[in-house]
Amino acid sequence: MQPRRQFLGWLAAGAAASTIVACSNAEAKTYPVRFSDAEWKKRLSAKQYYILRQKGTEYPGTSPLLHEKRKGVFVCAADGNVLYSSTTKYDSKTGWPSFWDVLPGAIGTSIDFETGYPRTEVHCAKCGGHLGHVFNDGPKPTGKRYCMNGDALLFRPT
């Protein structure tokens, strides 16, 4: 097989796998906080709905939470689930709020292939809302970069 055909075959397989993986992980699970699609649309802003319920992404550098430096916690905008402590927030220079650790039991993960290669999606453990992705290029001590959409989060100062 020619290299181009092999590559196109790989892309097609990845696209098929993304559908299977996405449906079998975050979307197939039953979460403690559940609403109909119509109710989510009422409860969330248009941006929040796009990100949390449709797995969208905000433009980099647009979230006010990117520059949030006060002490407190970051919670899921859909259900208030406490996700990240301000003590783990750092400037990853990516344009999205980033954290090097998550609070215990706050999130779930699944693999998506929406960009053509596998990434680890992060979703809220209570409502299943899409928050962002986690990468293995963060700072010590975890080496993780939880790259989150600011519109999927709310900040609660302490």
Edge-to-edge strands of the sheet including 72-76?
A: 82-85, 72-76, 153-157
Q: Which domains does the chain have, with CATH numbers?
A: 3-157 (2.170.150.20)
Give the H or E element holding residue 73. Answer: strand 72-76
Residue 119 clears pLDDT 50, i.e. is over it = yes
124 is catalytic: no
Looking at residue 27, its pLDDT comes to: 55
Angle at the Cα of 104 (from 99 to 108), degrees rounded to 5? 75
Residue-wise pLDDT for 21-40, tens only, equals: 333 345 567 899 999 999 99
Q: Who contacts 137 (Cβ-Cβ below 8 Å, separation ≥6)?
A: 143, 145
The average confidence (pLDDT) of the chain is 87
